[in-house]
Every structure is written in C-alpha cells, then in structure tokens.
C-alpha cells in the first residue's frame, strides 16, 4: 500500500489529537485536525459579530472565511484569512460555541469538502482526526479508529492541561459538548460500523500510540499481501 488514510474519531478528550499527531509523525504521514477547522470558523463568526446560535446567519456567512490547515504533524498550523488562529481557537468562548456552529449543515458541507481535498492532496497518506471522519468525510479510509475513555478520565486529563480547573465542571462541559455533537442531525459524532474501538481509560498515551501504529502496520501488510496475490494472478 503506497499511501494510507487513517480516520480517528471519538468524543472530546479521548486523546485523538495527541495520538494522531504522534502516529503520523512515527509513520511519516500528514496530519489533519478537523476540530481546529470547526473552531476556526467559529472564531471567525464571533470576530465578525455573528451569533453562533443564529443558524441562518451562520449559514449565510459560512463561505466567507478562508481557512488553511498545515498538515505537518510536528508543526500543525491553522490560519483564517491569512491570520494565525492557533491560539484564539482554543479559548473558552470558542469552545462553548463550536458545537452550535458545527451543527449548521452549510458549515459542515464546506468544511467536509475542504477536508476531503486536503486528504486527496496528501500523497504519502494522512491521519485525519475528528468526529465524523470514518462515517462521513472519508468512509473509504483504510483504517478507522474510534477512541473512547470514561468522562472521569477525560476530565482529569483536561483539568491537568488547564491548570487549576475544577474537574467536575470540566467533566460537565465535556459531557454537554459530546451530547450536542452526538445529537445533531448532520453527520453527528458516531462510530463507523467498521471502526476499531480503543478504550483509552486505563492506557497511557504511549500505549495508545503503540496500539494505533500496530493497527496501521497490520492493515498495510494485509493490503500489500492482497495486492501481491492479485499481481501474481
């Protein structure tokens, strides 16, 4: 298999970004953080005075910002209209509004097309992480992983990241965002039928990375074996 497309989905805080970046770096693949793109369009809406809960206004403006994602796993970047958005997209304000903006079908249609064109352009292969990659964006991905972890583990991880954050409040915010992302009508957060589920609750990050690298390598050798047998006929 010359190039491999890996889709990594799952709820918030399950380790998608950390795992995807490390797996892509180890295997020499590109990396795409699709959550960052939804955050970027949300940041643009806020910056331009558009109410995230006004779905019509969000839909009308969705085509205006130009979002560009850099796919080097050692230095992922994101710009909106040429401006570095990597800091602003991580604010609490963006986090609290991103589920509403990303539920708007016109936003999803535009961002999904952007994601597909980035994946098509990644000649050596790519790891794409998000919520609907295996189900909607790249349903033909070579390998689909669905990461899970208990809300308690996820909240503890996030609270460690946001020093001093209240674990209970963090847990409630995570669960609320997952519920919104899972219940929207258009391509909700969901496990694809053919995805491999990995529960990371009791695993270290290194163990999760190793597990996914092994799954990619197994898939690669299985496909290469099939291609060789087909070539020999």
Ligand X SMILES: Nc1ncnc2c1ncn2[C@@H]1O[C@H](COP(=O)(O)OP(=O)(O)OP(=O)(O)O)[C@@H](O)[C@H]1O
Task: Enumerate binding residues for ligand X (CB under 6 A).
Answer: 10, 12-18, 35, 157-158, 161, 200, 203-205, 208
34-42, 53-61, 147-155, 211-219 -> range binding ligand LCLUPRNS (CB under 6 A): 34-42
For 135, the 3-state DSSP assignment is: helix
The answer to whether 102 is annotated as binding is no
Distances in whole angstroms, Cα of residue 13 to Cα of each of 44, 112, 160, 193, 194: 24, 22, 12, 22, 22
What is the closest distance, in whole angstroms, from the C-beta atom of residue 156 to ligand X in the complex? 8
**Strand residue runs (E) in 141-195:** 143-148
Q: What's the min distance (Å) between Cβ of 61 and ligand X?
A: 24
Q: Which is nearer to ligand X, 2 or 197 (CB)?
A: 197
Q: CA 102, CA 16: separation in Å to the nearest integer?
A: 18
- Residue 186 to residue 111: CA distance in whole angstroms: 13
Residue 181 belongs to what H/E stretch? Answer: helix 167-183
**Residue 13 near residue 149, CB atoms below 8 Å:** yes
98 counts as binding ligand LCLUPRNS under rule CB under 6 A: yes
Residue 205 touches which member of ligand LCLUPRNS, ligand X, none, C-beta under 5-8 Å by kind: ligand X
Q: Does 130 bind ligand LCLUPRNS (CB under 6 A)?
A: yes
Q: Which residues are annotated as a binding site?
A: 10-18
User: Interface with ligand LCLUPRNS by CB under 6 A: which residues?
Assistant: 12, 34-36, 38-39, 98-99, 102, 130-133, 177, 181
């Amino acid at each position: 298999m010359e190039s491999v497309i890996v889709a990594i989905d799952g709820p918030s805080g399950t380790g998608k970004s950390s795992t995807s970046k490390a797996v892509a770096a180890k295997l020499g693949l590109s990396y795409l953080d699709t959550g960052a793109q939804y955050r970027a369009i949300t940041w643009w809406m806020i910056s331009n005075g558009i109410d995230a809960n006004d779905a019509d206004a969000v839909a009308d403006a969705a085509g205006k910002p130009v979002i560009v994602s850099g796919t080097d796993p050692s230095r992922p970047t994101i710009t909106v209209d040429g401006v570095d958005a990597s800091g602003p997209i991580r604010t609490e304000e963006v986090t609290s509004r991103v589920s509403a903006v990303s539920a708007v079908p016109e936003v999803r249609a535009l961002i999904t097309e952007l994601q597909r064109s980035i994946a098509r352009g990644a000649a050596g292969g790519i790891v794409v992480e998000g919520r609907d990659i295996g189900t909607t964006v790249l349903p033909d991905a070579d390998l689909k992983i669905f990461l899970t972890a208990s809300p308690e583990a996820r909240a503890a991880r996030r609270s460690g990241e946001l020093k001093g954050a209240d674990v209970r409040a963090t847990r409630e915010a995570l669960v609320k965002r997952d519920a919104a992302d899972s219940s929207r009508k258009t391509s909700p957060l969901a496990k694809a039928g053919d995805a491999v589920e990995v529960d990371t609750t009791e695993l270290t990050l290194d163990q999760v990375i190793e597990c996914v690298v092994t799954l990619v390598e197994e898939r690669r050798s299985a496909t290469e074996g099939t291609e060789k047998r087909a070539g020999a006929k």
